[in-house]
Amino acid sequence: MSGERYNPRESEPKWQKVWDEHKSFVTANDDPRDPYYVLEMFPYPSGRIHMGHVRNYAMGDVVARYHRARGMNVLHPMGWDAFGLPAENAAIERKTHPGAWTYQNIEAMKAQLKSMGLSIDWTREIATCSPDYYKHQQAMFIDMLEAGLVTRKSSKVNWDPVDMTVLANEQVIDGKGWRSGAVVEQRELTQWFFKISDFAEELLEALDGLTGWPEKVRIMQRNWIGKSEGLRLLFELQASEKTDATSIEVFTTRPDTIFGASFIGLSPDHPLTTQLATASPGLAEFVAECHRHGTATETLEKAEKQGVDTGLRVKHPVIEGETLPVYVANFILMDYGTGAIFGCPAHDQRDLDFARKYGLPVKPVVLPPDTDPASFAIGNEAYVDTGNIFNSGFLDGLSIEDAKKAIAEFFAARTVDGKPQGKIEVNYRLRDWGISRQRYWGCPIPVIHCEVCGTIPVPKKDLPVVLPEDVTFEKPGNALDHHPTWKHVHCPQCGAAARRETDTMDTFVDSSWYFARFTAPDADTPTIPAVADRWLPVDQYIGGIEHAILHLLYSRFFTRAMKATGHVGLSEPFKGMFTQGMVTHETYKGEKGEWVPPTDIVIESEGETRSARHATTGAPITIGSVEKMSKSKKNVVDPDEIVRTYGADTARWFMLSDSPPERDVQWTESGVEGASRFQQRVWRLVNDVVGIAQQSSDTVASDSADALGLRKIIHRAVAGVAQDIEGLGFNRAVARIYELTNALAKAKEASKGPELVTTLREGVEKLVQLINPMMPHLAESCWEVLEKQGLVADAPWPEVDQALLVDDEVTLPIQINGKRRGEITVAKDLPAAEVEALVLALELVQKALDGKAPKKVVVVPNRIVNIVV
RNA sequence: GCGGGCGUGGUGGAAUUGGUAGACACAAGGGACUUAAAAUCCCUCGGCGCUAGCCUUGCGGGUUCGAUCCCCGCCGCCCGCACCA
């Protein structure tokens, strides 16, 4: 019997080496077993892993190790999302090369990840900044360009003045750059775009099939794509010397309210506005004002509705002889619909605010149910609910839906400017994905601009277009553009002097296909389609909710684009998706309000109350709220530190315990200590049981009632943990393992003689296998103590004796009038009538009945009995 | 404003989604062992009575033999989107 404590510091590196030598986690593509692909979102090589990584990779590793034990061929790779701005910033600060900084960080983080004992196939490691990776991305870009999935167009872009680069709409949060936090400006630039909007409908529809995704993420994507069905409608302009235009085209989702129209609104960026502004200083000033406010003042402040009357008028399309004024209004967006609307103030709040301000008519045309049309009037709130159309000529009496159909048919039959006046149209909020970034540390866009031939792709034989090494970052902006020679090339078509594209790709492109590259990381082509199709879609993808829209939507698009260009045979990259919660920690503040890291404080508790003081100075510390671990609040705990003190298994176990994985988990010192205590407890238990077994040479058959009871507990735990892991309920699996451990420890104490030894031994063996996905090092050490063959990492998941999962007796609670009053143990599946007879005969029931017959007796087989008196 | 989620002991959370509410863990209190500490082990732990009983899943109603779960109305917190016509 070993009285020694388990020492993770010795044992963890030992087992990591053994796994390495055994190539335990190297996956072969030609392995005939069923494939299972589990992937955690790959990290940005910032230099150090944080607790969020630990949680993420611990979860993925449990899934990987479990499915491996289940006999599947598991692919569990790791790589680096290695391009990006921080490397350039570091280069400026440290006068080093972004690549050198990045690869240094990769080495450091790789060592940290290895110390966690993750079952990763490191032979498949990829870094997106390697030409071996990005040359394939360039090849696919050219394929997609040729397939018409890429376009170059001039457009208004979000310009981040701090990072000096363009941002996609998705990267602008509350009017600020997602990384720099700087207020984003609008600029007109020629940019490369992926035509993701061509896939809007497909990306939307396919969401219904993603049943392995959180509903929340699907809803977020649905809202982001933002489909709306409506009518494109032409309004005839009355002749005016101000413009040659003869009509204005608007988009509306409420054509049923056309009889209530009282004005036309143009976006400040509408071409007609621009034209009119050249002749109207007042309008020009208004447009300029809108631009100042447009993105500079955030969207949060409820900008007042403002507009300028252009003096133009359009014919009311359904009321003969009436005309409507044309305004330029600040609340109309150019990049949605047509950049022009018709305003129906009675049934749209914005239009109502606008109409009230400028004294425009407010005519209700939708009558709420059970309302008197004579007395119905609009106050300061537009009526946007259901009802029937009135005040609307031939639409009167129709429902909103029927009126929409009727008016669409009506306008389809009429023409303005030789075109149908109305046309049903579907609009999406989703914009094309602008990928041009004016940065050095990214994948070069492989095209050449020639004065003669235009913009032409780099021939594939000339790939990769490699980033030059000799760059300086002294000037702000794009170091690639500043390079003296790199961009000067000859046109591959005509040989004339030409210029390389110096923009690089958004790093979200890099992460939109890395999961496919992992399936054949050394292939000469971006993928080996047959191999990719065998592994993909990823069975279980795990990562943060912050990527619910951007990364996941881009990856879904890119997979479709890869399918269209023959690189994969499927459309959806991720079958199962799981978004894990954040790791939080208490915050601490010193006397001057400065943040203090947890390592610098000492917590003192007296009974229920906790207080803190500074570890070295003794100064009082205020314990603040629990927040996401962040450098700025200094409430971070370093994984290295934890691994050194408690071991990787303890950190993993704690990250998986207690909190459901999708929710935030709070890191606490006592929680880690609890996890560490459990580790020792398992170690002691296994050693004790082995010791007892050695002392009793007698192996008595384990068929006593006690042994049978214990075996039931063991087999139930095995079945339950499997079920919990499959449902990603790691906290529940942990609770079950605690229960099993408690039961085994109790049985060990109770067992004085040899009678339970065989069962106890079975119990600890299975316990070790159950903890293996979570605490793999401890499991190997225990496996060794148990003198089992081979590694537990290679051992199959323990068999469950199904017969032990069913009881032949059940204990039913007895309720009287719905309140629990007792219980009865009967044979399983005993007919209801017999149960009823037994229960009615009980003394407590007789007493409650007091000689009367029960009003009702409800017997739910194997569940409950309820007697109504 | 629109969309979605959540609310259970001192704390994190269980509860086979209509069938014994509070599993498991943390914290706390008491005890054993020890010269002492650590470690370990045992006991108590929703509230009021403390004996038999009553109350208890944010609040108020409803459906039901039975509601943490379903319906209606409030209150509070969190997340996403946001002038999208």
Buried-state track A185-207, b at ≥16 Cβ within 10 A, e below 16: eeeeeebbbbbbbbbbeebbeeb
Query: Cis omega (within 30 of 0) on the bond before A537?
Result: yes
ipTM for the whole predicted complex goes beyond 0.85 = yes
Point out the nucleotide closest to A736 (alpha carbon to C1′): B24
Does an H or E element contain A869, and which? none
Least confident of A249-253, A260-264, A294-298, A741-745: A294-298
- The whole-angstrom separation of Cα A215 and Cα A210 is 9
Point out the nucleotide closest to A549 (alpha carbon to C1′): B80
Rounded to the nearest 10°, the torsion over CA A769, A775, A780, A782 is -70
Q: Which residue is nearest to nucleotide B81 (CA to C1')?
A: A223
Per-residue pLDDT tens digits for A469-486: 999 888 777 899 999 999
What pLDDT does residue A301 have? 44
What pLDDT does residue A1 have? 40
Can you tell me the mean pLDDT for A577-581? Answer: 93
What pLDDT does residue A697 have? 55
Tell me the average pLDDT of chain A. Answer: 90
Higher pLDDT, A10 or A164: A10
Question: Which residue matches tokens 């986690």?
Answer: A25
Query: Cis omega (within 30 of 0) on the bond before A854?
Result: no
For the CA of A480 and the C1' of B18, the distance in angstroms is: 66
- The Cβ-side half-sphere exposure at A649, using a 13 Å CA radius, reads 28
SS3 assignment, position A821: strand
Binned at pLDDT 50, 70 and 90, residue A196 comes out as very high
What pairing do the DSSP bridges indicate for beta strands A577-580 and A540-544?
Answer: parallel
| Residues in Cβ contact with A290 at an 8 Å cutoff, skipping those fewer than 6 apart | A268, A330
For the CA of A656 and the C1' of B45, the distance in angstroms is: 26
- The whole-angstrom separation of Cα A223 and Cα A858 is 47
Point out the nucleotide closest to A860 (alpha carbon to C1′): B19
A222: amino acid identity, one letter: R
Per-residue pLDDT tens digits for A307-351: 999 999 999 999 999 999 999 998 898 888 899 999 999 999 889
SS3 assignment, position A146: helix
Per-residue pLDDT tens digits for A588-610: 888 888 889 988 888 877 766 77
Buried-state track A248-284, b at ≥16 Cβ within 10 A, e below 16: bbbbbebbbbbbbbbbbbbbbbbebbeebbeebeebb
Point out the nucleotide closest to A734 (alpha carbon to C1′): B24
What pLDDT does residue A463 have? 92
Is it the case that residue A296 has pLDDT exceeding 50?
no
A718: amino acid identity, one letter: V
For the CA of A661 and the C1' of B17, the distance in angstroms is: 20
What pLDDT does residue A322 have? 93
Q: What is the DSSP string of A371-432?
A: --TTT----SS---S--EE-SSGGGTT-BHHHHHHHHHHHHHTSEETTEESEEEEEEESPPP
Can you tell me the mean pLDDT for A726-755? Answer: 88
Binned at pLDDT 50, 70 and 90, residue A754 comes out as low
3-state secondary structure A642-664: HHHHHCHHHHHHHHHCCCCCCCC
Percent of chain A surpassing pLDDT 70: 96
Strand partners, A812: A824
Percent of chain A surpassing pLDDT 90: 64
For the CA of A760 and the C1' of B44, the distance in angstroms is: 30
Is it the case that residue A2 has pLDDT exceeding 50?
no
Question: Which residue matches tokens 């009823």?
Answer: A836
| Residues in Cβ contact with A850 at an 8 Å cutoff, skipping those fewer than 6 apart | A869
- The whole-angstrom separation of Cα A262 and Cα A345 is 7
Q: Which residue is nearest to nucleotide B27 (CA to C1')?
A: A608
Point out the nucleotide closest to A301 (alpha carbon to C1′): B83
Binned at pLDDT 50, 70 and 90, residue A358 comes out as very high
- The whole-angstrom separation of Cα A665 and Cα A628 is 9
What pLDDT does residue A294 have? 54
- The whole-angstrom separation of Cα A514 and Cα A422 is 45
| Residues in Cβ contact with A389 at an 8 Å cutoff, skipping those fewer than 6 apart | A256, A259, A365, A366, A367, A395, A396, A397, A398, A399, A400, A403
Point out the nucleotide closest to A821 (alpha carbon to C1′): B20
Point out the nucleotide closest to A866 (alpha carbon to C1′): B65
For the CA of A822 and the C1' of B53, the distance in angstroms is: 15
For the CA of A626 and the C1' of B46, the distance in angstroms is: 25
Please, which positions of strand B sit below 7 A from a protein CB?
Answer: 3-5, 10, 12-16, 19-21, 23-29, 39-42, 54-55, 65-67, 79-85
For the CA of A556 and the C1' of B80, the distance in angstroms is: 20
Can you tell me the mean pLDDT for A287-304? Answer: 61
Point out the nucleotide closest to A348 (alpha carbon to C1′): B85
For the CA of A481 and the C1' of B83, the distance in angstroms is: 38
Q: Which residue is nearest to nucleotide B2 (CA to C1')?
A: A223
Per-residue pLDDT tens digits for A683-714: 999 999 998 877 765 555 556 777 888 999 99
For the CA of A830 and the C1' of B36, the distance in angstroms is: 61
What pLDDT does residue A26 have? 97
For the CA of A399 and the C1' of B83, the distance in angstroms is: 27
What pLDDT does residue A696 have? 64
Pair of tokens at residue A370: 């059970």
For the CA of A854 and the C1' of B62, the distance in angstroms is: 26
Q: What is the DSSP string of A299-353?
A: SSS-PPP-EEEEEEEEE-SSSTT-EEEEEEETT--TTSTTSEEEE-GGG-HHHHH
For the CA of A611 and the C1' of B30, the distance in angstroms is: 24
Q: Which residue is nearest to nucleotide B85 (CA to C1')?
A: A252
pTM: 0.92
For the CA of A822 and the C1' of B52, the distance in angstroms is: 14
Is it the case that residue A298 has pLDDT exceeding 70?
no
Contact A428, A416 (CB under 8 A): no
Can you tell me the mean pLDDT for A232-254? Answer: 93
3-state secondary structure A470-516: CCCCCCCCCHHHHCCCCCEEECCCCCCEEEECCCEECHHHHCCCHHH
Point out the nucleotide closest to A428 (alpha carbon to C1′): B84
SS3 assignment, position A463: coil
Q: In angstroms, what CA-CA distances link A123 with A56, A113, A235, A528?
A: 21, 15, 64, 17
Point out the nucleotide closest to A581 (alpha carbon to C1′): B79
What pLDDT does residue A387 have? 86
What pLDDT does residue A53 have? 95
Pair of tokens at residue A497: 């002097």
